[in-house]
Chain A
Amino acid sequence: MGLSALAALTACGGGGGGASVSEGTGDITFGSNQSDAVPKAAYQKIIDGFVKESGSKVSINTVDHNTFQEQINSYLQGDPDDVFSWFSGYRMRFFADQGLAGDISSVWDTIGKNFSESFKAAATASDGKQYFVPLSYYPWAVFYRKSVFEDKGYEVPTTLDQMTEISTDMLKEGLDPIAFGDKDGWPAMGTFDILNMRINGYDYHTKLLAGEDSWESDQVKEVFNTWTKLLPYHQKGGLGRDWQETAQGLLQKKSGMYLLGMFVSQQFQDAEGGDALKDLDFFTFPEINPDYGTDSIDAPIDGFMMSAKTQNGGTAKKLLEYLGSAEAEKINADADKGLVGPASNMDTSNYTDLQKKAAEVVGKAKNIAQFMDRDTRPDFASTVMIPSIQAFIKNPKDINNILKDVEAQKKAIFVG
């Protein structure tokens, strides 16, 4: 086989952006990454609602979350579903830029009024057009059990010093002050994000993750220095624990605070006859640099995109309009109490206290980040940052070397 043949073999697929999408109105398929019983049922209910309203036929193709993510590239270039689940941020823009996702600006003409500007911005790719419809989001914050704080008389900290103080108290009480589990590599990204936004501000954070500033900068070093000072309060052995096991520690009142996404509440849902969930509360990560206060938060948005290859863009867009409606968002938020619906006109009467607070905290934030693995190149996040942050946790003193490697790899990756 000659090289040219190989090149041909490997080069087919893909295509430029801006291709016009068919407006057919036939039956469509819907790619879902929700294989858990509860959200799966919620999606089914949403689709049923759409089918009833529109009379179109939609078949759901469910692939579990992990597999879906591992397949996404081959999926989009192969034979994707007409509408599929995905995430906002860089991850959305990447596929939009490659011409793998269809322009759905016309959908936003209809649903735009349901969402605030920040959600629209999160659905917009670099060409200024929209490619994404948000269904839900959740904040990353510090979770704790109200009863523990009451019993021991801890106050919710508003500055890093206060947080360190109660951490010291917790250590004395035999608690793990900061629950920590990073076996899968991504949870610790949340710690980096929030420290960086608190210390250096949202704009710097965005710039850094876009590859426009050096990882060896003083700002980044300051983030890791602060983190190093907090490490003694972190639960030991975090690299061998997944987040579920870590959450159990918080549930069993063995640890005091846990910085994680609101999905942590799923571990509390059935415990103690439902009382544990009521006892769960959170606060936004305390202020470090007064210049930035607590004006930023990680609140990743999940939603849907349309394949550029769809033959039935008409039906697909109608489905996306429905997915962006207050009705669909409510079905989802009612089913999963770890999420909040982004539609501003949505009926929130069924919200739990936690959901209400989440909507409020995110609503108050000036800047909303999407989480490191959604705000930077996915190849950089997964192949460079996961091992590097883990290396830092293992050996904080080596941070200068680690950052040197990160910067070198960043330069190699952020080329095209």
Chain B
Amino acid sequence: MSAATLTPGEPDSARDGAAAGTAGAATPGAPLPGSRPSRGGDGGADRKAPLRPGRVILHVSLILWGAIWLVPLAWAVYTSLRPYAETAEKGYVSLPDTLNFDNYVAAWTQADLPHYFLNSLYIAVPAVVVVLFMSSMAAFVLARFSFKLNLAMLMFFTAANLLPQQVIITPLYRMFLSLDIYNTQFGVVLINVAFQMGFCVFVLSNFMKALPDELGEAAQVDGAGVWRQYYQIVLPLTRPALAALATLEFAWIYNDFFWALVLLRDGDAMPVTSALNNLKGAFFTDNNLVAAGAVMIALPTVVMFLALQKHFVAGLTLGSNK
């Protein structure tokens, strides 16, 4: 992966050459006021980040901004920790008499969360694995070989990702009925794979294009077939992008409820996002309980992001900059 991160420095990369050229052209040519070398020290000082007034202001504003950003989530968590009877009496905006995890316990058992968490895993994990595998193959062909329909195929994939789900749902449902995969988790996995393929092909082909062409050439000299080129050379180098995509796709597929809504029938087979509805009564809704359920349902994606954060940014970096 280091080979790819370093692309800006690689002289044989035409694109980055152009980028560097832009920078080079802009620097001397631009009518910048006060082009004096004496201000050059700033750049170096910047990276050591001493506590200057500017930094303090930056931190203060970031902390403020961050605090505002956290208010909605914090509010949901606060609500979830209070008993319904208390908030019904005192209103939601009040100081707490009691803070406990009772709502969490209740949501966990009443909505049968463990069961639905497993359902979500049965859907999301295979879907992510399969979509990454298939899209990496397609991206490999599209990025590393050129043939007549190259551009058209890339658009075929990318544009498919941009369609709203509602546009395809009715015929899809009929098709699932006749293929006998209606009301199966397999069917939901399948449509997630098909629907997410476009974005993955788009990102992965961008990424693979950035890998040096010499890789393939060297492999060919060795007499490796295209499959080995893909599997043993390109795929391992694509790992960071795959990790980033896995994080994103997991969150998307995990959070989706629309496919399950139309394509599953059994309450028992539904993903965890539907369990939230189980907590909302037809006639009576205990917001505190729903908030507790909501927090728990959000946890897996939050944890996954925190765990993979480093890969996440790195993977996207490579994808975007080739």
Contact = CB atoms under 8 A, between A and B. Distances in A.
A63 B267 contact: yes
Interface in A7-42: 9-13, 33-37
A71 B173 CA distance: 11
Interface residues on B, range: 20 to 34
Given A12-B178, A67-B261, A70-B261, A270 B282 contact: no
Nearest to B266: A61
Interface size class of A (residues with CB under 8 A): 20 to 34
A12 B175 CA distance: 9
B282 A36 contact: yes
A312 interface: no
B174 A13 contact: yes
A79 B265 contact: yes
Given A74-B262, A78-B177, A78-B183, A66 B171 contact: no
B64 to A, nearest CB: 29
B85 A244 contact: no
B284 interface: yes
A36 B268 CA distance: 15
Nearest to A243: B283
A36 B261 contact: no
Interface string B250-264: 000000000001110
Contacts of A338: 283
Given A78-B265, A244-B285, A270-B85, A67 B171 contact: no
A266 B283 contact: yes
Contacts of B85: 270
B27 to A, nearest CB: 55
A64 B280 contact: yes
B188 to A, nearest CB: 13
A62 B173 CA distance: 21
B281 A36 contact: yes
A9 B183 CA distance: 18
Nearest to A60: B267
A248 interface: yes
B182 interface: yes
Contacts of A414: none
B278 interface: yes
Contact of A71 (B174, B265, B281, B285): B265
A35 B274 CA distance: 11
Nearest to B110: A37
A78 B176 CA distance: 9
18 contacts: A12-B174, A35-B277, A36-B282, A63-B267, A63-B270, A64-B267, A64-B280, A65-B281, A66-B280, A67-B270, A70-B261, A71-B261, A71-B265, A74-B262, A78-B183, A79-B182, A80-B265, A244-B284
